[in-house]
Structure 1
Amino acid sequence: MAPKLLTLLFPLLVAGMIGFSRSARITIVNNCKETIWPGITGMNSTGDGFPLKPTQSSVFSAPADWNGRVWARTACNFDSRGNGTCLTGGCGHSLKCAGPGQPPASIAEFGLGGDLDYYDVSLVDGFNVPVVVRPINGRGKCSPVGCYDDLRPNCPGELAMNSSVDGKTVIACRSACTVFDTDEYCCRGAFSTPMACAPTNYSRIFKQGCPAAYSFAYDDPTSIITCSATDYVVTFCSSRNETQCTYHDNRLVCDRGGAARAAVAVWEVVVTAVICLTAIL
C-alpha cells in the first residue's frame, strides 16, 4: 500500500511545487535606517501592510495576473488593533491598506501575467524614500528600475514636506501636481495627451536624481521595463552594489551587479517530502 500511495502522491507534490513556482514572489527589503510600513494593494488581492525594521525583509506572493503597487509608509504609529496614521504614504487609518497610499510616496508598480511582466517605479505622486525594483533571473531586458538617490535634501522648497516635529526636516518631496493642482502639472485637460504633457522644471529635478523612474505621467520610454519568468526584489534605500536574493523556481538565486548565482534546492525538498511520507506510512 505504501509504495502505491507514494506513486500517486509524488506527482502531486512535484506539480504543486511547479505550480507554486510560477507565481511571482516579491521580496520587500528595508535598507533604510528607520522602520517603514510597506503598503501593498492591487487586483486579485485584499491588500496588506506591516512594519519592517531596518535590514528586515518580507515576501509577498503575487496572485496570478496581478496588477498592483508596493510603497513605503513612514513615521507610522499603530495601536494593537492596527489603527493609526503615517506621516507619508498613509492609506487611511489602517495598518493593512485596502487602497492606494496618500501622496507623496515613491511607488513600485507591477503588471504581472501573460508572456510579459511590466514594472516601474513612479515618482508622479512625489517621493518619500528611495526604492529600486530588481528582477531576479528573468528572461528579457530585465533591468533594475527606480531610485538609489535620496531626493529629499535637494527638494525645492515649494515642494518640500517638512516634519511636524521640528518643522524643518524634509520628510518627503511632493509632486508639482499635488502642490499647484494645474492642468499642466497634472497632465489633464488640454495637457492630457502624450504630445501635450511635457516634462516641467520640477519633473526634470526628479528625473535628474532618478533617471530610471517615472517623473511625469507620460515618461514611458525610459521608465517602464518588461521581463518574463522572474521574481522581484523591491528594496527601499537600496545601494547599487548590494546582493539581492530570492527563491526563484524553487532555487535560491542571488544577483550582484547583474551576475546571477543559483543554488538548487528543489530536489532536497522533494526527497524530504518523500522521506516524511514514508515514515508516516
Structure 2
Amino acid sequence: MASISPPLLPFFLFFFSSVNSATFTILNQCGYPIWPGVLSGAGTSQLSTTGFVLQPGQSNALTMPPSWSGRIWGRTYCSQDNAGRFSCATADCGSGTVECNGSGAAPPATLAEFTLNGAGGLDFYDVSLVDGYNVPMLITPQASSDGGNCTTIGCAANLNTECPMELRVAVDGQSVACKSACGAFGEPQYCCNGEYGSPSTCRPTSYSEFFKSACPQAYSYAYDDGTSTFTCAAANYLITFCPSLSTSVKSSNGQYPRAVDVSKAEYSGRPLASVAVIFTVTAALSRRFLRLL
C-alpha cells in the first residue's frame, strides 16, 4: 500500500477537513410564521428539503453537502387556496407547494447566499438586497477554525416601514416588502445591464444608498462586492429571521467588520499574495452566478 510522505500529510489533512458537510440552522424569531426556501446553484444537487414552515421561535437544521452553493430566503404571508395551491405574498417561489423544488424567490426578497469550500477552503457568504428586501436576516458563522473573517453579518433593520413609497409592496395597506430600484423601474442604471453592465459604469444610486445606509454589510446593488462578501473556514451557520435588536454585527471596537474586498484582492487588510487572483475570481464568479438564479 502506498504511504503519504510526512511533508504531504498536512496538505491531505487540510484538504479532507475542508470538505466536510456543514449544518445550517434556520431560526425564526419573527412574531409570525416564515416559510424558508432553499435553492441550490447550478451543478449542485437540490437538497431533500427545499421549503418548510417555521412558526415563531421554531428552528430547523439542514445538513449541507460539501462545496454547496445556493440561496436561502424567507417567504411571508403564505396561504393555500381552495384548489390546494400554495402561494406567498412575498418571496414566493411559484411552485404551488411549500417545497420550492428548484425554483427561486420572486423579488423582492432578502437573500442569504453561500459558496462553501471555495478558494483556499473558505466559505463565501453574504446577505443580498439586490433583489429587494422582505424580512430582517442575519448570518452567524459558528466556526470550528480561525480561517477567514468569520463574523455575523446581515440586515437586522425593518426596512418595510422606512421603504420609499415608490418601492413599497403592500398587502391590505401594510408595507410587507421593499423593491429594489431595478425591480421597480427596470432601468439599466439600476439593473446594471446594457451600457451600465460593469463595475465602472454601474454606480450606487440614492435607492441603493437607502439599503446600504440601513444595512452596511449587505449587498445593495449588483457590484457592491467590495464591502459585502465575507469568508469563514469549516463553519456551521445560524440564519436568523427577525434577529433581536440587541444582536450586534459590530466588533468590540465599535466598527463594522471588513468584507473581502474582491475589487482590490485583499483579505482582512493583508495582501493574499499568490492566491489573490483566485479569491478575486471565485468571489466575483460566485456573485455573477448567483445573480443568474
Looking at structure 2, the residues matched to 70 and 49 of structure 1 have their Cα atoms a distance apart, in angstroms, of: 9
Amino acid at match of 2:105: G
218, 222, 228: which one pairs with 2:227? 222
Amino acid at match of 2:133: F
204, 218, 237: which one pairs with 2:242? 237
Displacement, 1:221?
1.1
Looking at structure 1, the residues matched to 233 and 245 of structure 2 have their Cα atoms a distance apart, in angstroms, of: 23
- 1:190 partnered with 2:195: yes
97, 104, 115: which one pairs with 1:100? 104
183, 187, 191: which one pairs with 1:178? 183
- Structure-2 change in CA distance of 1:63 and 1:149 (3 Å): same
Displacement, 1:44?
1.8
How do 1:35-46 residues align onto structure 2 when only pairs under 5 Å count? 35-42=33-40, 43-46=44-47
Contact 1:78-1:95 at 8 Å conserved across structures: no
Instruction: Tell me the SS of whatever aligns to 2:166.
Output: coil
Displacement, 1:187?
0.2
Residues 113-158 of structure 1, C-alpha deviations (whole Å, 9 max, x = no match): 2411000000000000000101012422111111111111110000
Instruction: Indicate the residue corresponding to 2:117 in structure 1.
Output: 113
After superposing on structure 2, the runs of 4+ consecutive aligned residues of structure 1 that deviate more than 6 Å are 79-82
Instruction: Tell me the SS of whatever aligns to 2:226.
Output: coil
- Structure-2 change in CA distance of 1:119 and 1:202 (3 Å): same
Looking at structure 1, the residues matched to 54 and 162 of structure 2 have their Cα atoms a distance apart, in angstroms, of: 26
Looking at structure 1, the residues matched to 201 and 247 of structure 2 have their Cα atoms a distance apart, in angstroms, of: 39
Instruction: Tell me the SS of whatever aligns to 2:225.
Output: coil
Instruction: Tell me the SS of whatever aligns to 2:207.
Output: helix
Displacement, 1:45?
1.7
Looking at structure 1, the residues matched to 235 and 84 of structure 2 have their Cα atoms a distance apart, in angstroms, of: 33
- 1:151 partnered with 2:155: no
Q: How many residue pairs align between the two structures?
A: 224
Instruction: Tell me the SS of whatever aligns to 1:238.
Output: coil
Instruction: Indicate the residue corresponding to 1:134 in structure 2.
Output: 140
Residues 34-91 of structure 1, C-alpha deviations (whole Å, 9 max, x = no match): 1010000102224510010011000111112101110000011137997310000101
TM-score, normalised by the number of residues in structure 2: 0.72
Instruction: Indicate the residue corresponding to 1:57 in structure 2.
Output: 59
Contact 1:82-1:96 at 8 Å conserved across structures: no
Contact 1:40-1:49 at 8 Å conserved across structures: yes
Looking at structure 1, the residues matched to 58 and 69 of structure 2 have their Cα atoms a distance apart, in angstroms, of: 25
- Structure-2 change in CA distance of 1:135 and 1:80 (3 Å): farther
Looking at structure 1, the residues matched to 61 and 29 of structure 2 have their Cα atoms a distance apart, in angstroms, of: 15
How do 1:256-267 residues align onto structure 2 when only pairs under 5 Å count? none
- Structure-2 change in CA distance of 1:80 and 1:72 (3 Å): farther
Residues 83-122 of structure 1, C-alpha deviations (whole Å, 9 max, x = no match): 3100001011221112111001100000002411000000
Looking at structure 1, the residues matched to 221 and 247 of structure 2 have their Cα atoms a distance apart, in angstroms, of: 28
Identity %: 45
TM-score, normalised by the number of residues in structure 1: 0.75
- Structure-2 change in CA distance of 1:30 and 1:221 (3 Å): same
Looking at structure 1, the residues matched to 225 and 99 of structure 2 have their Cα atoms a distance apart, in angstroms, of: 30
Looking at structure 1, the residues matched to 28 and 239 of structure 2 have their Cα atoms a distance apart, in angstroms, of: 9
Instruction: Tell me the SS of whatever aligns to 2:113.
Output: strand
The answer for unaligned runs of 5 or more in structure 2 is 1-15, 253-293
- Structure-2 change in CA distance of 1:23 and 1:82 (3 Å): farther
- Structure-2 change in CA distance of 1:231 and 1:200 (3 Å): same
- Structure-2 change in CA distance of 1:216 and 1:85 (3 Å): same
- Structure-2 change in CA distance of 1:80 and 1:235 (3 Å): farther
Amino acid at match of 2:236: D
Instruction: Indicate the residue corresponding to 1:32 in structure 2.
Output: 30
The answer for unaligned runs of 5 or more in structure 1 is 1-17, 244-256, 259-281
Structure possessing the higher radius of gyration over alpha carbons = 1
- 1:23 partnered with 2:21: yes
Instruction: Indicate the residue corresponding to 2:87 in structure 1.
Output: 85
